[in-house]
């Protein structure tokens, strides 16, 4: 049973019946009504993480109590005049603008992207998605050394299995998968932490990859590429119209205008997208209006909760009163490679066992590396917790994984360990500030229940 079905199963007996009218008032918060429809909408948005819940709102399985807490905070924010505060108004306008642009682009670009079976088949052959490669590689400080080392087969590394194009990061994939069997690539620059090394590849063998194995990857790649082209074309088109319209108002500018010179000035293009979205009337449509109302509430809620501050003394007091929440632990730093295929993860682990540098494998294979370059510091508070639980008992240089989480597979090497926690330091201070603020916010919600009357009108079974 899906989460949404479980949620409906929970909500149905909670109130009068599943046939309860959508406009039925089930609770009153001050003078504000909560209807069945509003509760259902809130519960669905909460499941999709499309609405702010936050630490001030009780972590409970009862969505009604969460919605009541949210209403209490919003009532108080409005009663103290925060809805007219200039900071809030500025933030709301930015969020509103982003939502209009997003909806406009979804309609003008995303909804118009068409990827046919013929497109996928052509890309499958033309861009070498039909090849699985077995290769070796050499990494050196210079291009010449990388190529020479590979040609002489000195200190070369390899994976035991065949690799698909979608399993290698784009910075090397096109070059590597265009190579015939037996040939050596030019040395390609690959960032490793603060440095850049040069990597040369030699293809040893290939096998045919069936279309079904890479079809989704190809379609995602094509949609991204087509969308980027359409986005740019739309921006240039709007720039042309704007420039020509301006030039008509001032004919001397018309002779100076050259549409071929229009570049992707992101700030100017965003202005044009926003203006075009408003001109199309998209902001007046019910779906976006509902989204904008939620955005306005979320921005107000966030801004209001920012005002609930914690002093250094309050943070230190929280640390003293809750020693069990600040236990000593062994922080474990790892170099992590995250991929979307279990077999590839197993091959990467074996390659590391045979001497491959995990720092080099990260930029070639790891998905969604971001700014960490694969280096991750794990603690009991790192999510998902299974990585820390697996790594904490391992020695330095030990290899872990594959660990499956969020549809991905993690292989890692332990690179450092340090005793942390259990004492007042910068890390525990930050944690104490966050936990003390959460406690303060929850107490504030409890106080608001006394200030504004809360009545639940629906009968419980």
Q: What per-residue confidence (pLDDT) applies to 258?
A: 41
61 is written with which tokens? 């399985």
Q: What φ, ψ does residue 229 adopt, rounded to 5°?
A: -65, -45
235 is written with which tokens? 């921006």
DSSP 129: T
Within 13 Å of residue 157, how many CA atoms lie on the same side as its CB? 21
Per-residue pLDDT of the chain (461 residues; tens, 9 = 90+): 444 444 444 445 444 445 556 678 888 998 888 888 888 888 888 776 656 666 666 666 678 888 888 999 999 999 999 999 999 999 999 999 999 999 999 999 999 999 999 999 999 999 999 999 988 888 888 888 888 877 776 556 777 788 899 888 887 888 889 999 988 888 888 877 667 888 888 888 999 999 998 999 999 999 999 999 998 888 888 877 765 554 444 444 433 334 444 445 677 888 888 899 999 999 899 999 989 999 999 999 999 999 999 999 999 999 999 999 888 888 889 989 888 888 889 989 988 988 888 888 888 888 765 545 788 888 888 877 888 888 888 889 999 889 988 888 999 999 999 888 788 888 889 999 999 998 999 899 989 988 998 888 865 43
Distance, CA of 187 to CA of 202 (rounded, Å): 11
- DSSP states of 355-368: T--HHHHHHHH-SS
- Asked if 323 contacts 421 with a C-beta cutoff of 8 angstroms, the reply is no
Query: Which residues 6+ apart lie within 8 Å of 183 measured at CB?
Result: 202, 203
Distance, CA of 154 to CA of 149 (rounded, Å): 5
DSSP 260: G
Q: List Cα–Cα distances, 428 to 334, 395, 421, 425, 440, in angstroms.
A: 21, 25, 6, 5, 18
Q: What per-residue confidence (pLDDT) applies to 13?
A: 46
Q: What per-residue confidence (pLDDT) applies to 460?
A: 44
- For 275, counting Cβ atoms within 10 Å of its Cβ (0-12 exposed, 13-18 middle, 19+ buried), the class is middle
Q: What per-residue confidence (pLDDT) applies to 144?
A: 85
SS3 202: strand
SS3 329: strand
- Nearest CA to 324 out of 422, 420, 418, 430 is that of 422
- Nearest CA to 76 out of 28, 42, 30 is that of 30
- Asked if 369 contacts 362 with a C-beta cutoff of 8 angstroms, the reply is yes
248 is written with which tokens? 């008509």
- Asked if 377 contacts 391 with a C-beta cutoff of 8 angstroms, the reply is no
Alpha helices in 127-250 (DSSP H): 143-151, 170-177, 211-249
- Asked if 388 contacts 412 with a C-beta cutoff of 8 angstroms, the reply is no
Residue entry with tokens 């590849």: 201
Q: What per-residue confidence (pLDDT) applies to 80?
A: 93
Q: Which domains does the chain have, with CATH numbers?
A: 131-208 (3.10.50), 329-420 (3.10.50.40)
Distance, CA of 254 to CA of 426 (rounded, Å): 60
Does pTM top 0.85 for this prediction? no
Query: Which residues 6+ apart lie within 8 Å of 180 measured at CB?
Result: 203
Q: What per-residue confidence (pLDDT) applies to 239?
A: 79
């Amino acid at each position: 049973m899906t989460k949404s079905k479980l949620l409906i199963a929970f909500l149905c007996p909670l109130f009068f019946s599943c046939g309860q009218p959508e406009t039925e008032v089930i609770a009153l918060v001050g003078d504000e009504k909560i209807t069945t429809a509003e509760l259902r909408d809130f519960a669905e948005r909460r499941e999709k993480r499309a609405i702010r819940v936050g630490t001030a709102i009780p972590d409970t399985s009862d969505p009604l109590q969460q919605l009541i807490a949210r209403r209490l905070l919003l009532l108080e924010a409005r009663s103290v005049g925060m809805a007219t505060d200039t900071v809030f108004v500025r933030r709301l306008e930015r969020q509103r603008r982003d939502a209009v642009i997003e909806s406009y682009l979804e309609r003008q670009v995303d909804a118009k992207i068409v990827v046919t079976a013929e497109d996928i088949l052509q890309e499958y052959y033309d861009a070498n998605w039909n090849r699985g490669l077995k290769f070796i590689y050499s990494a050196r400080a210079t291009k010449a050394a990388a190529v020479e080392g590979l040609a002489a087969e000195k200190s070369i590394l390899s994976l035991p299995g065949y690799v698909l194009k979608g399993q290698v990061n784009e910075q090397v994939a096109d070059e590597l998968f265009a190579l015939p069997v037996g040939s050596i690539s030019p040395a390609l620059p690959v960032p490793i932490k603060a440095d850049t090394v040069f990597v040369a590849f030699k293809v040893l063998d290939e096998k045919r990859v069936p279309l079904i194995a890479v079809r989704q990857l190809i379609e995602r790649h094509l949609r991204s590429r087509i969308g980027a082209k359409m986005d740019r074309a739309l921006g240039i088109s709007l720039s042309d119209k704007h420039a020509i319209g301006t030039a008509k108002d001032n004919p001397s500018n018309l002779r100076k205008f050259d549409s071929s010179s229009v570049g992707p000035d992101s700030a100017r293009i965003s202005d044009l997208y926003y203006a075009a979205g408003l001109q199309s009337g998209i902001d007046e449509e019910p779906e976006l209006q509902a989204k904008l109302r939620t955005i306005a509430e979320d921005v107000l809620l966030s801004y209001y909760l920012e005002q609930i501050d914690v002093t250094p003394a309050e943070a230190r007091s929280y640390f003293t009163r809750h020693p069990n929440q600040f236990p000593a632990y062994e922080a474990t730093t790892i170099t992590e490679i995250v991929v979307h295929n279990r077999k590839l993860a197993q091959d990467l682990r074996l390659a590391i066992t045979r001497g491959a540098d995990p720092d080099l494998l990260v930029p070639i294979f790891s998905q969604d590396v971001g700014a960490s370059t694969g280096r991750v510091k794990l603690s009991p508070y790192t999510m998902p917790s299974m990585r820390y639980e697996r790594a904490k008992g391992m020695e330095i240089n030990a290899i872990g994984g594959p660990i499956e989480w969020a549809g991905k597979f993690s292989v890692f090497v332990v690179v450092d360990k340090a005793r942390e926690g259990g004492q007042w330091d910068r890390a525990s201070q930050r944690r104490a500030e966050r936990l003390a603020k959460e406690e303060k916010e929850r107490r504030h919600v409890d106080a608001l229940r006394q200030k504004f009357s809360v009545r639940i009108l629906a009968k419980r079974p």
